[in-house]
Chain A
């Protein structure tokens, strides 16, 4: 009877297309909203995610997230280095400053200073130039979007000059750094150079990046650093979540966006569920007739579930394809939308959601089919 079930489904083209459209639209709505939300949240922790050499970030105990800086003295770096289990510990500067181009454009930038000797902490994704070029005097690496903000309409190129607090800086690399929440250009330079740009003070160490020795558990090492130095030490994963949680709790944007996500989910679930529920109810007389003619309940159940899986599968494939296409197109057309993509977890989660919704809708409608009313079978 599987063939009959599929013919019933495909026979009424208008209903079939309506079902597919409903599920595709719902899939698109859910996956798109959740992906944008996830992308937005990941932007808050972009700099942590880009410094993947570090297992642990160490900071002043009052720091709650990556954008809240409470500078430490250089002495703290030495104390962290003294903790057993630390392979290496390096300084990391993070601050905001203003850059000027020769064309007079003024731009707030995120200035990141990495260890002079190792250059650890620089994003590994470079579009032009190389990380080693940072060793040159006044050298800096700017992200692709930042380059476009500062030199609009120009193709990314090296050798451009900018001015930071009356200091000259030369662009020696173009990176594909993760987009920050604030959309400011992300600029990498050496730790010592960064301090020169912002002006030297006694406390300028934003973070200490730590690599655990081989075989040492990062969580345990973080606890040890915390216990021995009194500083806050978090694994990069924990620091990422702490940053995301801060934005979720302390700003209205994610909450409002979350409401959109929830609404998208509810609207999507209602559309998928109701569309399929109505489809089954419209075929109630056919199912009732089949049941009267001796088709077992189990067979009817399989027929309805097969119909559900087919429409869910096709609708989901179209919807998720549209979502992926949306991000592909938007990331190509606007550099401000870079980094927004369809994570596989969202695709899988949306698939499971569509499946659960349609199975629930199938069973809800099947209740009526299972208890077949002779009046439905025998009367008009």
Chain B
């Protein structure tokens, strides 16, 4: 049987931040892998290091020690400019507060990664419109973020994360600002539209209502992986 390729691999990742005269280590030797075609949820209490870990996986933060590979590329060995270019081509982001640009329409917001890569806005918005239509936002292409509900804004953010066909999508609490129904819809769309055999999705969440969408759940505690289960229906197994 052929195994799916590894989308992301963390190897002995630590991260320390300066604090006063010394440093505080917030990640202590994280090892884990994400497979392409899977939706991985990173869960745990506030302050356990989830955001730091996805920031490192996304190439925004540099680990103090350890290696990160995304789609086989060692991003920890890349220069800052290479990381920026790598993120632009290979990573899509979905944020808790959507982070849409208030002055741009839904289609223009979703087109931002293509525009950042050098495509003219008009053409990029056309590509983004096609994605938005597939996730039920076809009637709202010309609307500004303040004319959309929270769920609709998060769908625009999903389209923005998908528009440049990245290999990895990083989602930070994508349902935190949504009601239960909208949260379920967003995860359904994410699972249906985002996942494919070449792409992995990692979701940081506290929302237990959406655990059922995960292929794999990784629990964190105090900067360490505490437990991992490969299916929402399976029991959590200790990784410590």
**In the complex, are the beta carbons of B52 and A294 less than 8 A apart?**
no
- Cα A288 to Cα B95 with chains together (Å): 11
Asked whether A167 is an interface residue with its Cβ less than 8 Å from the other chain, the reply is no
**In the complex, are the beta carbons of A8 and B103 less than 8 A apart?**
yes
Asked whether B55 is an interface residue with its Cβ less than 8 Å from the other chain, the reply is yes
B158-200: CB near A (< 8 Å → 1, else 0) gives 0010000000000010000100000000000000000000000
Across the interface, name the chain A residue whose C-beta is closest to B176: A380
Residues of A close to B28: CB separation below 8 A: none
A side interface size, CB within 8 A:
28
Which parts of B88-144 form the interface with A (CB within 8 Å)? Answer: 88-89, 91, 93, 95-97, 99, 101-104, 108, 112-113, 115-117, 121
- Cα A363 to Cα B88 with chains together (Å): 24
Asked whether B78 is an interface residue with its Cβ less than 8 Å from the other chain, the reply is no
Asked whether A286 is an interface residue with its Cβ less than 8 Å from the other chain, the reply is yes
Q: Which of B86, B96, B103 has the most CB of A within 10 A?
A: B103
**In the complex, are the beta carbons of A374 and B52 less than 8 A apart?**
yes
Which parts of B31-56 form the interface with A (CB within 8 Å)? Answer: 51-52, 54-55
| A294 CB contact (under 8 Å) in B54, B91, B104, B172 | B91
Which parts of A198-226 form the interface with B (CB within 8 Å)? Answer: none
Residues of A close to B177: CB separation below 8 A: 380
Which parts of A290-310 form the interface with B (CB within 8 Å)? Answer: 290-297, 299
Across the interface, name the chain A residue whose C-beta is closest to B99: A289
Residues of B close to A286: CB separation below 8 A: 99, 101
| B103 CB contact (under 8 Å) in A12, A290, A378 | A12
**In the complex, are the beta carbons of A294 and B113 less than 8 A apart?**
yes
- Cα A1 to Cα B84 with chains together (Å): 15
- Cα A378 to Cα B50 with chains together (Å): 11
**In the complex, are the beta carbons of B88 and A294 less than 8 A apart?**
yes
**In the complex, are the beta carbons of B112 and A4 less than 8 A apart?**
yes
- Cα A7 to Cα B108 with chains together (Å): 11
Asked whether B87 is an interface residue with its Cβ less than 8 Å from the other chain, the reply is yes
Q: Which of A12, A295, A378, A379 has the most CB of B within 10 A?
A: A378
Residues of A close to B75: CB separation below 8 A: none
Across the interface, name the chain B residue whose C-beta is closest to A6: B103
Asked whether A170 is an interface residue with its Cβ less than 8 Å from the other chain, the reply is no
Asked whether B239 is an interface residue with its Cβ less than 8 Å from the other chain, the reply is no
**In the complex, are the beta carbons of B55 and A7 less than 8 A apart?**
no
Minimum CB–CB distance from B72 to chain A (whole Å) comes to 19
**In the complex, are the beta carbons of A378 and B54 less than 8 A apart?**
yes
Asked whether B85 is an interface residue with its Cβ less than 8 Å from the other chain, the reply is yes
Asked whether A127 is an interface residue with its Cβ less than 8 Å from the other chain, the reply is no
Residues of A close to B81: CB separation below 8 A: 296
**In the complex, are the beta carbons of B97 and A12 less than 8 A apart?**
no
Q: Which size class do B's interface residues fall under?
A: 20 to 34
**In the complex, are the beta carbons of A4 and B104 less than 8 A apart?**
yes
**In the complex, are the beta carbons of B61 and A290 less than 8 A apart?**
no
Known A3-B121, A294-B88, A296-B81; judge A11-B51 contact (CB<8 A). Answer: no
Across the interface, name the chain A residue whose C-beta is closest to B98: A289
Residues of B close to A12: CB separation below 8 A: 102-103
Residues of A close to B112: CB separation below 8 A: 4, 290, 293
**In the complex, are the beta carbons of B51 and A374 less than 8 A apart?**
yes
**In the complex, are the beta carbons of B51 and A375 less than 8 A apart?**
yes
Asked whether A164 is an interface residue with its Cβ less than 8 Å from the other chain, the reply is no
Asked whether A72 is an interface residue with its Cβ less than 8 Å from the other chain, the reply is no
- Cα A11 to Cα B104 with chains together (Å): 8
**In the complex, are the beta carbons of A294 and B116 less than 8 A apart?**
yes
Known A289-B93, A294-B87, A294-B116; judge A7-B60 contact (CB<8 A). Answer: no
Asked whether A51 is an interface residue with its Cβ less than 8 Å from the other chain, the reply is no
Minimum CB–CB distance from B64 to chain A (whole Å) comes to 15
**In the complex, are the beta carbons of A292 and B58 less than 8 A apart?**
yes
Asked whether A10 is an interface residue with its Cβ less than 8 Å from the other chain, the reply is yes
**In the complex, are the beta carbons of A299 and B116 less than 8 A apart?**
yes
Known A8-B103, A11-B103, A12-B102; judge A1-B54 contact (CB<8 A). Answer: no
**In the complex, are the beta carbons of B103 and A1 less than 8 A apart?**
no
| A378 CB contact (under 8 Å) in B55, B91, B117 | B55
**In the complex, are the beta carbons of B113 and A293 less than 8 A apart?**
yes
| A377 CB contact (under 8 Å) in B60, B85, B89, B160 | B60
19 A–B contact pairs at CB < 8 A?
A3-B121, A4-B101, A4-B104, A7-B101, A7-B108, A11-B104, A12-B103, A286-B99, A292-B60, A292-B87, A293-B93, A293-B160, A294-B85, A294-B86, A377-B60, A377-B93, A378-B55, A378-B95, A379-B51
Q: Given A296-B85, A374-B55, 18 other A-B contacts at CB below 8 A? A: A4-B101, A4-B121, A7-B104, A11-B102, A290-B112, A292-B87, A292-B93, A293-B88, A293-B112, A294-B87, A294-B113, A294-B117, A374-B60, A374-B61, A377-B60, A377-B99, A380-B96, A380-B97
